Structure 1
């Protein structure tokens, strides 16, 4: 792989179409048949109560806030049934760091879903696993094993943001650090679980720190092969607690970032376009900037939409 200095120069200074062309060449090598994949699934956020206090999150509510909620098993089951009626084959289940939910609730929820509403469960990000481990005084490996035994099928890449500790200390100091986030992913991979991996940029990080994030992901993938897909998107700053002042990054920066991600992550099989944040047209263009996957139809989405970003699509 090209040296970091060369990659940084290429990312920042190469003509956009040259950068995209190189990413598209790699995409075509990996996926030569011209087929774009996607999935029909539903994002179910089981609670918005959270003590992580991330500066970029417009979705979370502090404990005892009037808008806080935790869904019942029956409410979650109804959402799954509706998703399946619409062709859904997976649920993405994530929530806030809610200190009032016992660990058995999560295990019982997974068993309930598998027993009464069977579907692939893609759930509980590394940040949540770390929160469970600390709150319930367990080691992360035990948390992963118990969740998996109860019915968890795979783990999403939520909470990755920028995997550089300087940035995390500013925007999300209470969440799992960069090393810990990657450690939990590697533990899951070593248990035979597949996961996705993400990057949310536009938090005030440098271009070099974005590349550091990508290179750290690549190093874990070289050891485990457990990441199935990479997804990046820009911060949506509206309504956020401390980052509303951050300007939204534009389409050109998104396409540059997608392209350099494909170039660096040559060992991750799939790159997903973020039409949810960028809109359908830019999402389509990203398919010529390294992406081969269009992600989810996303029957339900609550986190990005809380920041006043809403895009919709159908089959």
Structure 2
């Protein structure tokens, strides 16, 4: 399929109906993945701290420094969570926290060393770009240097958190203390140069316009053209409850439609992930016909979306049944999409 431009993507969104756009995206998905497999990963989201100085308006999870509900997990607590994950068949943890001013590079290196010593079989997918930038500024070390130190200590890959919308107008409004779009992209480019694979994400459905969503997609596609380091794109919808942004929730129809547009536009990113965590299992299943070829994580633990009052959970057996009943073969994978 020939690459589409931003203006062509806008026309598709405005003029093509819901079902035809889904059909087009599914066709693209089948060209990329004709084997009728839907992948997923068994892992756990562990938030090692909820203390954060970013004060993002869309986040219901963080607590400011000094708050009575703020925490940093002890290594013993972390080990218990990882041990439970391994016992449930897990082989990766998604390790994310906040921009915590009390934690320095030594803490992160010790944390990774502890995990690799005690759980060498578990991959660490950790530390989103804002955490890395914050740490680089705190330590006075270039971003590439911080990533190299973390990789040496045991970091296996980097998640795409903190992208939200990669347009500074939006970022200044919803997360004024966080970093610019170009800084987020720089972390990913430096990680790719150092051989780390990462994911790309988008949280949409708050104050952004259609053109800003498309600008986000274009920036992801341009970076992928240069580095090839993104394994997947994961769009999800903003959940407004318990946050400082007052808006209506994006409908499941709009979610699926934008998922389809993402699959068509991002011709250089091999995998598109369904967000059943925000949409629920049944819409997640429908996403497999609107461009998605991956069902994401079993989410043994998830706290950030849960803080908005959305509590979808899927045991691995149920996740596999959803994939099978949609007519696909469920397959476990690693972060780099190697099949297990």
TM-score for both structures, normalised by structure 2:
0.91
Unpaired runs of at least 5, structure 2 = 317-340
- Residue 279 of structure 1: aligned partner: 280
- Residue 163 of structure 1: aligned partner: 166
Q: Secondary structure at the match of 1:246?
A: coil
Query: 1:1-315 maps to which residues of 2 (within 5 A)?
Result: 1-118=3-120, 119-240=122-243, 242-243=244-245, 245-315=246-316
The answer as to whether partners of 2:128 and 2:158 remain within 8 angstroms in 1 is yes
Between the aligned partners of 2:14 and 2:304, the Cα distance in structure 1 is 30
Q: Secondary structure at the match of 1:36?
A: strand
Between the aligned partners of 1:7 and 1:267, the Cα distance in structure 2 is 15
The answer as to whether partners of 1:46 and 1:93 remain within 8 angstroms in 2 is yes
The answer as to whether partners of 1:157 and 1:195 remain within 8 angstroms in 2 is yes
The answer as to whether partners of 2:104 and 2:138 remain within 8 angstroms in 1 is no
* Alpha-carbon shift at residue 34 of structure 1 (Å): 0.6
The answer as to whether partners of 2:46 and 2:94 remain within 8 angstroms in 1 is yes
Between the aligned partners of 1:203 and 1:100, the Cα distance in structure 2 is 31
Q: Secondary structure at the match of 2:98?
A: coil
The answer as to whether partners of 2:40 and 2:298 remain within 8 angstroms in 1 is yes
The answer as to whether partners of 1:20 and 1:288 remain within 8 angstroms in 2 is yes
Q: Secondary structure at the match of 1:253?
A: helix
- Residue 325 of structure 2: aligned partner: none
Between the aligned partners of 1:214 and 1:110, the Cα distance in structure 2 is 32
Between the aligned partners of 2:130 and 2:102, the Cα distance in structure 1 is 17
Unpaired runs of at least 5, structure 1 = none
Aligned-residue CA RMSD in angstroms? 0.7
Residue-pair matches, total? 313
* Alpha-carbon shift at residue 5 of structure 1 (Å): 1.7
> Could you list the per-position Cα deviations for residues 144-200 of structure 1 after superposition, in whole angstroms to 9, with x for gaps in the alignment?
000000000000000000001110011112112100100110000011110011000
Q: Secondary structure at the match of 2:278?
A: helix
Q: Secondary structure at the match of 2:301?
A: coil
Between the aligned partners of 2:222 and 2:104, the Cα distance in structure 1 is 35
Q: Secondary structure at the match of 1:281?
A: helix
Between the aligned partners of 1:177 and 1:128, the Cα distance in structure 2 is 13
Between the aligned partners of 1:12 and 1:159, the Cα distance in structure 2 is 28
> Could you list the per-position Cα deviations for residues 92-135 of structure 1 after superposition, in whole angstroms to 9, with x for gaps in the alignment?
00001110112201100000000012210000011111110111
- Residue 336 of structure 2: aligned partner: none
The answer as to whether partners of 2:104 and 2:135 remain within 8 angstroms in 1 is no
* Alpha-carbon shift at residue 246 of structure 1 (Å): 1.1
